Chains A and B, each alone.
Chain A
Amino acid sequence: MNKTSVTKSTYQIPIGPIHPALKEPVFFEFELDGEKIVDVDVKLGHVHRAIEWASRKRNPVQILYLAERICGICSYCHPIAFSLAVESAADIQVPERAEYLRVIHGELERICSHILWAGVAAHEIGFDTVLYLTWQIREKALDLTEYLTGNRVTKGITMIGGVRRDITQDMIPKIQESLKYFKDNFEKLRGIFLDDKTFKMRSQNCGILTKENALKLCAVGPTTRASGVKKDVRVDTSYFAYGDLDINYITPDILTGKVNGDVYDRIIVRLLEVKQSIDLIEQCLDKMPAGPIVAEPKIAKLLAQLKKTNGEGVGRHEAPRGEVIHYVKLDGVNEAPYTWKVRAPTYNNILPWIPMLKGNQIADIPIVAASTDPCMSCTNRIAIIKDGNRFELNKEELHRLSVEKTRRLML
């Protein structure tokens, strides 16, 4: 293009708000120069359901079930963060056994979520056989979830002051059998994701987030750890039984000796965390003390206590995608909390998208956007407006571009 020309050399493409590859809608507007991304703007709110407002007519136990429905994948971390906030406000001490059970359910959710993500990432670059393989493994994790909680997705396991179901001695063989299955398949997945040429080509040096940007933009979870920031609520603070367990920060330099902050590093962090989760569940089964599983089994008594409570608290938990934080204020008059603020991890991982996407190509959008494991979604239809002509690119077209790039690199 002639650089002295006065016409604008860049053009915009809107992406979103609907895209089935990611889970919920989000809208991107990209400023492009040819294939290269120059700038990004993100618009949110397409699935804002006023959940915090809806809580004003519910008591804390009812809110547990509302919180569970914030997200289908994080259906454990939202009610548990809410419980932690209420327990902190009302000064409820959770029984020790319940603390261990809470770790087991939290880690099982992490296994489900990370393996689901691995499948989505493989699909985004056109490696669909891996999608089927990972989701087959995830199916086993869901079966175990159902065995332990009675449900596959909305688990209904959380209670303020504990959990609702115990793990008895006769359930342990089945858990161990499932853990063995995960371990056997973990090695297979590790080989595919970390050594395969296709994955390396598409993920190395792509979507880089520097450590400085990760800190400044308040990124959380595997996204920030892949950039070398040691930040994990499970290690940083002592909540549930994590303080008793052997656990450490997972950053990509454990495996490769250096931190690049690219998509490949985010794959490393998530994969190693699956292994860490299996290990944590085993430690819990070993060390779990006997005792009650809930502080106050009578719900009416618990609600009466909470109604009288005047105080505020925050609850933080390391969800699969990062730190989730809930703020709860109880006013001592009404049964419903005065204020309930939910902050999901993706909320903090929106701004880091901008430095990650800048300088990459259109075909990299799906894998880079997916690499933070956003709990919201991206593209169904793209409209490219160039020189006043409007071209519509649908989701299949964008996916095709991504697959073509993989093929091109393999030649």
Chain B
Amino acid sequence: MTEEKIFTAEEIVNSFKDEFKIKIIDIKIKKRSAGVKKNETSYIWMKIDKGAFKDIIKHLCALQFPHLAIISGNDLGNSIELIYHFTLNFGHPRSETILNISVDLPKSNPEIESICDLIPGALITEREKQEFLGVKIIGIPDDRRLFLPEDFPEGIYPWRRDETGPDKLYRNLHEVKK
């Protein structure tokens, strides 16, 4: 790998704004300092439109191949929010930037494209999101369950807060049919 350019948080933000304009719903930079020297670390929080999701990840990979730390998810009532936590600029002391890309999926159609073709390391976390949040990852190379046992009931998603949540599993254990 050749020596890569270091992008500042502002440069990353501008790059996305220029390329995708209104597809970026909200973007903000948060800085936290630590220690006696008060060196700063930048956190970018970006909310994007679902339609441009794959193109935004492609743009990111072209900018610099990122490290995907994890995808986390929230059940927000009417929609499911997925947050992709990336880090950029690693390998250069004290210049790493954390990029959090958030995308809302409506509960009526919770589908999103897989990014395994761009970042193969996303497989484990995508499989986890499928079984825990009930989102459908389109084009995932391996859609088996990962953490949940094989006899866990279908249609129950442990991190949901609605009727598909795990509540009935622990309230009326005797009624659960496997």
A interface vs B, CB < 8 Å? 43-45, 48, 50, 52-53, 88, 94, 96, 99, 211, 215-220, 229-231, 233, 235-244, 248-249, 287, 289, 312-314, 316, 323, 325, 327, 329, 338-339, 341, 343, 347-348, 350-351
**Which of B70, B72, B90, B100 is A230 in contact with, Cβ under 8 Å?**
B90
B91 touches A229 (CB 8 A): yes
Q: A229 to chain B: which residues have CB within 8 Å?
A: 91
* Contact present for B41 and A216 (CB under 8 Å): no
Q: Name the distance in Å between B89's Cβ and chain A's nearest Cβ.
A: 7
A55 CB, nearest partner CB in chain B, Å: 11
Within 8 A of A (CB), among B25-57: 30, 32-41, 43, 45
Q: Which of B41, B92, B121, B148 has the most CB of A within 10 A?
A: B121
Whether A289 contacts B85 by the Cβ 8 Å rule is: no
Cα distance, A242 to B36, chains bound together (Å)? 10
Interface string of B4-42 (1 = CB under 8 A from A): 000000000000000000000000001011111111110
Using CB atoms and an 8 Å cutoff, list the residues of chain B in contact with chain A.
1, 30, 32-41, 43, 45, 65, 67-70, 72-74, 83, 85, 87, 89-96, 98, 100, 119-125, 145-149, 158-159, 166
The reply to whether A243 and B69 form a contact with Cβ atoms under 8 Å apart is no
Could you tell me if B35 and A48 are in contact, using CB atoms closer than 8 angstroms? no
CB closest residue in chain A, given B123: A351
- Identify 5 new A-B residue pairs, CB closer than 8 A, beyond the known A237-B96, A314-B98: A218-B68, A231-B91, A236-B89, A241-B36, A347-B125
Chain A: CB-nearest residue to B144: A43
Contacts of B94 in A (CB 8 A): 235-238, 243
Q: Across the interface, do A99 and B91 meet the contact criterion of CB distance under 8 Å?
A: no
Q: In the assembled complex, which residues on chain B have CB atoms less than 8 Å from the CB atom of A48?
A: 147-148
* Residues in B whose Cβ lies below 8 Å from that of A314: 43, 85, 98, 100
Q: Check B98–A211 contact: CB distance below 8 A.
A: no
A-B pairs with beta carbons under 8 Å apart, 21 shown: A52-B159, A99-B35, A217-B120, A218-B68, A218-B121, A229-B91, A238-B34, A241-B34, A241-B36, A242-B34, A242-B35, A243-B35, A243-B37, A314-B43, A314-B85, A323-B69, A327-B70, A327-B85, A339-B74, A339-B159, A343-B69
Residue of A nearest to B165 (CB): A53
Interface centre among B1, B33, B72, B145 (most CB of A within 10 A): B72
For A242, what are the chain B residues with a Cβ–Cβ distance below 8 Å?
Answer: 34-35
Contacts of B38 in A (CB 8 A): 243
Q: From residue B62, how far is it (CB to closest CB) to chain A in Å? A: 15
Q: How far is the CA of A241 from the CA of B39 in the complex (A)?
A: 10
Q: How far is the CB of A153 from chain B (nearest CB, A)?
A: 25
Question: Given the complex of chains A and B, what is the CA–CA distance between A248 and B94 in angstroms?
Answer: 11
Residue among A45, A316, A347 with most chain B CB within 10 A: A45
- Which residue from B36, B85, B91 sits with its C-beta under 8 Å from A325? B85
Taking a contact as CB atoms closer than 8 A, the residue among A53, A216, A237, A312 that contacts B121 in the complex is A216
Most buried by B among A211, A218, A289: A218
A44–B146 touching, CB < 8 Å? yes
* B70 partner, pick from A88, A217, A341, beta carbons under 8 A: A341
Considering the chains assembled together, what is the distance between the CA atoms of A339 and B83 in angstroms?
12
Contact partners of B89 in chain A: CB under 8 A: 236
Out of A45, A215, A237, A249, which one reaches B41, CB within 8 Å?
A: A237
Q: A327 — nearest CB in chain B belongs to which residue?
A: B72
**Which residue of the partner chain B has the closest CB to A45?**
B147
What residues on B are CB-neighbors of A220 within 8 Å? 67
Which A residues lie within 8 Å of B73 (CB)? 339, 341
Nearest Cβ on chain A to B40's Cβ, whole angstroms = 7
Most chain B beta-carbon contacts within 10 A, residue among A50, A217, A238: A238
